[in-house]
Structure 1
């Protein structure tokens, strides 16, 4: 009796085990298989750079003009001429300026002679007034005539000195030592000095020191500071990289095609005089560098597995699932995240056929790679996306497929 009961119970238990195994096999056959796209966690350097374009210019540029109107009579320098301070570089015709100076001098000398005559008359009037020969009124008239003429002498002297200065202005001299990089007028042209001074020459004080005037986008200007190194290239020497230093960040906004830019000045040495004024420079300003850090592709930080996978993944604790869903909901609803929420995030790491979330703290990024810190090591496979999905049953029936059909890998790329 007991033996029959044991046999019956054993049979029932066996049937239950078979039913459980059958249901589990059926469930597994309907489960989706994910083929993850991964990238290894690496160690290396991350350089954060701000890109910009700009124009090269001499460190100090002087515009030489004229303050008098006249015919450009002579030029003693041309493009690329080396000049010294005080050297005569051009002459303006003095056919009208010299007679004006002579006329002003004659008017001044005439007024001086008249003033001296009035002074003698004033002295005689003083003697006669003391001897009571003339009235006080007559003396006052003589004094007023002398004072008036004295003021006229000062006025005419100023006119003479002004004419003399204008005559001197007809001789154009270099104000600095340097190189002529621009000549804007030819001999025989009438130069008219009115409200603005016409520029005859542009002189670069020292071409061994150049500066790049970089136009930095308003979205990047907050990362640029004085003292940061910068690398740039020019089309004239595409295989040569030049190095400079940010020396000034100007606060004046410069709209370019409806985009606000700010000018950053980058000083660079030019001992070989290879760099020329006006060249267009493509600039990388090195904002920040972290060396020998763990880094992953930037899109690994934005990847989250499908909700279907999260719901069926038994290896992921429910608490982490809730955090991930909450973070996904905030991003979807465009909610403002705190600094701590922006810095901390999950990276999905593949182990076997499954993936697991690892909490990391984000560091700097160059747009391609992002620095990370956390319980993660070099060589781990960070998930960046999904290559494809398939039902498990299709992989089991792979032998029944046409040999000409492409086959998907059963594990991630390594």
Structure 2
């Protein structure tokens, strides 16, 4: 009985050791598999090296188009309008006849002035001849000197009357010419504001029509006086450099006007009602796309920041309070979280004005789940990533190869 019990005891102990050895083997295998878990490996991240760039400071302002030249067609004489000589909405040239006013009275005035001038010329001729006849007689003392003096005065008065009547004739001719109302400038004329048969007066307040020259055309933009003052201060301090005067337009509906314009000037006074300063730009308008009075959006580069750093927008992340931060490659290949100031964008980049310096390595790839102090393997952001096809057992190629070697 004792020997049987001993054999049973030894047999029981052997099984116990076998079970413990199997458990240890299983734990070792699990540990080996855990060490091959991709989540435990060092994360590979792509980075770019930060550097300062001369970044334009774009300005977007609302504006309204204004005709390059505007002229109101007004009558210079009074009379009944007999004919309209233009097509409404057409393009007219300077000097082209637009209206005809009844010229009857003004033609009669010209005829009368011509007759008065002829009469004055005849009287002047007679007075001159009389004075010439009196000259030898006064030398012989055949007549009194006073008579000769009076004859000379009459001749000079007659010559002055000629000049007066000639001026009257010229005035009558000008008034007759004014009965045809010409276009003062070249441009597009609007609708006629009077009809045939209406009375036109030289003192009337309403024009007969309005002509506008639209090529080129102006765009008046409104900019805050505070923004303009801040920009001038930064330019004086050297924080920014002057930008381009070229302007681009966006029309209502989101359409972009294809031809650029140029800033001409800014007014020297501030509108007290709005606190804005008017800037005027000039645009070519050969096809008449821009019409006076249109609302547009003007975009131009008023200055440039030579110390800004461009970072891809995907690299700039936001905290709950809205503040921006980026992840950097730190010492010993550790991820470093740093707050930055990035208040605007330029194309596909965020413009960082504070928080970065030249030479900083900004992580732009592999940011998902990356935390402060995490071990990383940095590579240039342009380096392509190699992705192995997954195995049927769900393990990646590197883990499978290691497992095969261990086997």
Tell me the TM-score normalized by structure 2. Answer: 0.59
Q: What is the CA-CA distance between 1:81 and the residue it aligns to?
A: 1.5
Q: Which of 242, 245, 256 is the aligned partner of 2:261?
A: 245
CA-to-partner distance for each residue in 1:19-74, whole Å, 9 max, x for gaps?
xxxxxxxxxxxxxxxxxxxxx99889954223322222343444433322223221
Q: Which residue matches 2:222?
A: 215
Secondary structure (helix, strand or coil) at the match of 1:132 reads: coil
Are positions 1:144 and 2:153 aligned together?
Answer: yes
CA-to-partner distance for each residue in 1:305-324, whole Å, 9 max, x for gaps?
9xxxxxxxxxxxxxxxxxxx
- With over 3 angstroms needed to count, the CA separation of the structure-2 counterparts of 1:410 and 1:357, relative to structure 1, is closer
Distance, in Å, in 2 between the alignment partners of 1:57 and 1:120 is 66
Are positions 1:232 and 2:249 aligned together?
Answer: yes
Secondary structure (helix, strand or coil) at the match of 1:286 reads: strand
Is the Cα–Cα contact under 8 Å of residues 294 and 378 in structure 1 kept in the other structure? no
Are positions 1:99 and 2:108 aligned together?
Answer: yes
Structure 2, gaps ≥5 residues long? 1-47, 233-241, 375-407
Distance, in Å, in 2 between the alignment partners of 1:370 and 1:121 is 101
Q: What is the CA-CA distance between 1:119 and the residue it aligns to?
A: 1.3
Structure 1, gaps ≥5 residues long? 1-39, 306-346, 382-408
Secondary structure (helix, strand or coil) at the match of 1:239 reads: coil
Q: What is the CA-CA distance between 1:96 and the residue it aligns to?
A: 2.9
Q: Which residue matches 1:74?
A: 83
Secondary structure (helix, strand or coil) at the match of 1:255 reads: coil
- With over 3 angstroms needed to count, the CA separation of the structure-2 counterparts of 1:71 and 1:127, relative to structure 1, is same
Q: Which of 81, 90, 98 is the aligned partner of 1:89?
A: 98
Q: Which of 102, 119, 135 is the aligned partner of 2:128?
A: 119
Is the Cα–Cα contact under 8 Å of residues 225 and 270 in structure 2 kept in the other structure? no
Secondary structure (helix, strand or coil) at the match of 1:122 reads: helix
Secondary structure (helix, strand or coil) at the match of 2:83 reads: strand
Is the Cα–Cα contact under 8 Å of residues 49 and 366 in structure 1 kept in the other structure? no
- With over 3 angstroms needed to count, the CA separation of the structure-2 counterparts of 1:364 and 1:122, relative to structure 1, is farther
What is the Cα-based RMSD across aligned positions, in Å? 4.3
Are positions 1:287 and 2:299 aligned together?
Answer: no
Distance, in Å, in 1 between the alignment partners of 2:133 and 2:76 is 47
- With over 3 angstroms needed to count, the CA separation of the structure-2 counterparts of 1:376 and 1:233, relative to structure 1, is same
Secondary structure (helix, strand or coil) at the match of 1:154 reads: helix
Secondary structure (helix, strand or coil) at the match of 1:188 reads: coil
Q: What is the CA-CA distance between 1:252 and the residue it aligns to?
A: 4.3
Distance, in Å, in 1 between the alignment partners of 2:80 and 2:138 is 58
Is the Cα–Cα contact under 8 Å of residues 48 and 288 in structure 1 kept in the other structure? yes
Larger radius of gyration: 2
Secondary structure (helix, strand or coil) at the match of 2:124 reads: helix
More strand by share: 1
Is the Cα–Cα contact under 8 Å of residues 307 and 353 in structure 2 kept in the other structure? no
Q: What is the CA-CA distance between 1:134 and the residue it aligns to?
A: 0.7
Is the Cα–Cα contact under 8 Å of residues 266 and 277 in structure 2 kept in the other structure? no
